[in-house]
Copies of this chain bind each other. A is one copy, B any other.
Amino acid sequence: MHPRLTLALTIMEALAIFAYAISGLIEARTRRLDAVGTFLVAMATAFGGGTVRDVLLERRPFYWVEHQGYVIAIFVMSLFAPMLLKMTSRLISERALLVADAVGLGLFSISGTSLALDAQIPWFTAVMLGVLTGVFGGVIRDVLCNEVPLILRDSRPYATCAFAGCWIYVLLDYVSFDTVYSVLIATAFILLARLVTFRFDVRLPH
């Protein structure tokens, strides 16, 4: 089971990393940053949440230290960002990006909660670390670009979806449900919750 879990987590993080890096690229291009600035923002968006989580949980080495390939891939993407985004804007609709970002939110949040539970962090705090892992990359991206972080401004549920999904994972983990299925179910829940609430324009009270 453990190797399967490791594999599942690895694939999850890979998907999430690219979805987040692209959201960083888009934001950086909107600000007309140069290639290096684009790279830094894309890196911070993709790895910011996981790195803060690892600093808090004292996990080493960082994901991006062990997996240099991602760093190089994001670097190349940043060099060709103008071309890449023109191409993707034809191939990939805004809806596709929304889905990719929701996949990232689900995958990162659940991986964060899972690692926190492994580290004997109590439930509520583990859920919070999961949400932090999911949303913090975007917060850094927006702070760097001098904006109030999107998750703080937008009243559409985002962190809230991650929050609910992380609790589902904690519950499944508590009843000793198979880990891989738990990960998939909780991630799917966050993905669906985000897409459904977005589609029907559900707003949180404020």
Interface residues of A (CB under 8 A from B): 28, 31-37, 40-41, 43, 51, 55-56, 58, 60, 62, 64-65, 68, 71-72, 75, 82, 121-125, 128, 131, 135, 139, 143-149, 151-153, 155, 157-160, 163, 204-206
Contacts and interface: CB of A to CB of B under 8 A. Distances in A.
B148 A75 contact: no
Contact of A37 (B56, B123, B152): B152
A72 B146 contact: no
Contacts of A28: 152
A36 B75 contact: no
Given A43-B128, A65-B121, 18 more contacts: A28-B152, A31-B148, A32-B206, A33-B152, A35-B206, A36-B204, A40-B135, A40-B151, A41-B152, A51-B56, A64-B125, A68-B124, A71-B124, A71-B125, A82-B205, A143-B146, A144-B149, A144-B152
